[in-house]
Chain A
Amino acid sequence: MADIQHYSHDAGWKHTILRGLLYLVLILFAAYYLFPLFVMISTSLKSLSEIREGSLISLPRVVTFDAWTYAWNEACVGVECSGIKIYFWNSVKMAVPAVLISTFLGAINGYALTKWRFKGANIVFALLLFGCFIPFQVVLLPMSQVLGSLGLASSTTGLVLVHVVYGLCFTTLFFRNYYVSIPDELVKAATIDGAGFFTIFWRIILPISTPIIVVSVIWQFTQIWNDFLFGASFASGDNAPMTVALNNIVNTTTGVKQYNVDMATALLTGLPTLLVYVLAGKYFVRGLTAGSVKG
């Protein structure tokens, strides 16, 4: 009896040390990732003179949102000095429709590929899957030709089209893998009940797809909002998305380098994706693992 107590006491002690080490490592990693964010936020809240005097990691003596309002309303993108607000809305106008359309089409594709299997369904799926591995750069030239012939060059609509086409492979993959785990009998039962392809989709399949819709929306929103290459290639001037505008502000070579404005602009650019993660993050992991274990 005494022996057992001795052992368990010993194990508890080891356990505590291991726990402590684990937390130490985790805290170090968290700090490593959070430190740049801290520098960005604190710099964006300082005045330019304070940035020049103080050190990089010091907290702002006087908190000012001047840099944020300046970035939003007055910062110069190229020769235009009306802030990044128009580019922010450009990005919204691009990302929201592109995310919704690509998610919706992915859902339809996944549904058709799993529940209405047709001859060659596997080949179609394989080709779609292959689309996930095509690097962006490869399609730049042919895509610009297509957009030109459609009359969509340098427009937000054109960008939406590009992102929908490119995102389709991923969203189809998500939805297909999710729907594989939904029993076919559900569709059979609804067929006998008299429902057709779209009725079953709207009334039965889509209402039980929330986790995977969230995954698809987060993934697509992050991809599309953060995209720089397509934005820089297919939309120019007033139609450019946020990421391109950010680059133009930060990489400007004339005048005084306004670090606080740069930081505020960068934070504004990153904010929407951050928001999406915070709001829907808990569904993300749940949705990603949903298809992997048969419930």
Chain B
Amino acid sequence: MASLTLDKVRKAFGPVEVLKEINIAIEDGEFLVLVGPSGCGKSTLLNLIAGLEGSSDGEIRIGDRVINDVHPKDRNIAMVFQSYALYPNMTVRKNITFGLEIRGVSAAERDKAVADVAKLLQIEALLDRKPSQLSGGQRQRVAMGRALVRDPDIFLFDEPLSNLDAKLRVDMRTEIKKLHQRLGATIVYVTHDQIEAMTLASRIAVMKDGILQQFDTPQNIYERPNNIFVAGFIGSPSMNFINATLINDNGNLAVSIKRDNDPIILTLKDAPESYQGYVGKDVVFGIRPEGLTHKRTGSDQPGSQYVNFDCKVEVIEPTGADTMTVVEIGGKEIVARVRPDRAPQPGEIMTFSADMSQISLFDPVTELRI
């Protein structure tokens, strides 16, 4: 087990810079998730940590050891691949012990190690099968067994769940989380699924176009996204973005949203200092669906600041737990999360409550958080 530090890491393929000065540091036992859309460089970053590709610049450290020029096999890491990469010609047992065998571990120790891992992952019955005789979920377990058996400093997971069906994916996700809690291992996990990122991570690194957008705990990323991209990428359904103006409304700052008849004025209490510079200017007002509900009062939830406004309902989408209610404000479709028993009918005029304690404001030009 060890900490991991990426210090100003860059990677370029010829003239194309795929990673631009990445700085990430995690403690021993943390679960880091690298998340972003395809082509954002997250898998490349994982390959750099694994040593399967060389970095163009910067320093990678495991513990205090700089590993830039250390061969993958000497980095004391283990990796689980998206395609599992099980050796097709070997039995499960051989697959798991191959790394140990190469490292010259004695047969007796190997047998013990494989027995321990098989028990942990409940794959004892599969040990003498070939990978082609296993289901997707079983292959996934074997791939994890191959990583676990080596007892490495850091585990690397490259989209390990994306080849599984939806139900199995959720089950395996829980199992990976349990495994992490039991072993206390340091894990770096790559995914494009923001739900996986939120549920698994102790810290998330959101990436886009080779640039680290935000590196923080899941809750902070959810509540205080650095920019519009992060805000839109994390959370499902994603955050609503409405073009608005920040105004001074009788001494209080307020968000004003243009509408055909009358503007919606949403008053802000205890507005942060950083908002002052934007008074009278255009902003992008971001609010998550759960911040936009049926009419509520402040006593429903302490710390909330509810501001009410009326709006015509366009579409409703019941999900069971909540009813997603779509309204149109400022030419954009906005999703509100409404309790099913308070759900309106399409076409109805309904009073909504916006929880102004949970909002984000972004600069429309730089797209950064204000």
Interface residues of A (CB under 8 A from B): 183, 185-186, 188-195, 199, 203-204, 207-208
| A194 in contact with B50 (CB, 8 Å) | no
Which of A185, A189, A203, A204 is the most central at the interface, judged by chain B CB atoms within 10 Å of its CB?
Answer: A189
A185: contacting residue among B81, B88, B89, B90, CB under 8 A: B81
Rounded to whole Å, the gap between the CB of B359 and the closest CB of chain A is: 43
| B73 in contact with A193 (CB, 8 Å) | yes
Rounded to whole Å, the gap between the CB of B369 and the closest CB of chain A is: 38
Q: Of the 9-residue stretches B96-104, B206-214, B251-259, which lies at the interface with chain A? A: B96-104
Q: A59 to B84: give the CA distance in the assembly, Å.
A: 62
| B81 in contact with A208 (CB, 8 Å) | no
| A204 in contact with B85 (CB, 8 Å) | no
| B87 in contact with A204 (CB, 8 Å) | yes
B102: contacting residue among A186, A188, A199, A208, CB under 8 A: A199
| A193 in contact with B98 (CB, 8 Å) | yes
Interface residues on B, range: 20 to 34
Interface residues of B (CB under 8 A from A): 50, 52, 72-73, 77-79, 81-83, 85, 87-90, 98-99, 102-103, 146
* Total of A-B residue pairs, C-beta within 8 Å: 52
Closest A residue to B143 using CB positions: A189
Residues of A contacting B102 in the complex (Cβ-Cβ under 8 angstroms)? 193-195, 199
Rounded to whole Å, the gap between the CB of A45 and the closest CB of chain B is: 47
Q: A50 to B72: give the CA distance in the assembly, Å.
A: 76
Q: A227 to B52: give the CA distance in the assembly, Å.
A: 45
| A208 in contact with B88 (CB, 8 Å) | yes
| B89 in contact with A191 (CB, 8 Å) | no
A194: contacting residue among B52, B73, B81, B90, CB under 8 A: B73
**A185-B81, A199-B102 in contact; A192/B72 too (CB < 8 A)?**
yes
**A185-B81, A185-B83 in contact; A192/B89 too (CB < 8 A)?**
no
Closest A residue to B47 using CB positions: A188
**A207-B89, A208-B88, A208-B89 in contact; A188/B52 too (CB < 8 A)?**
yes
Closest B residue to A195 using CB positions: B102
Q: A203 to B89: give the CA distance in the assembly, Å.
A: 9
Rounded to whole Å, the gap between the CB of B101 and the closest CB of chain A is: 9
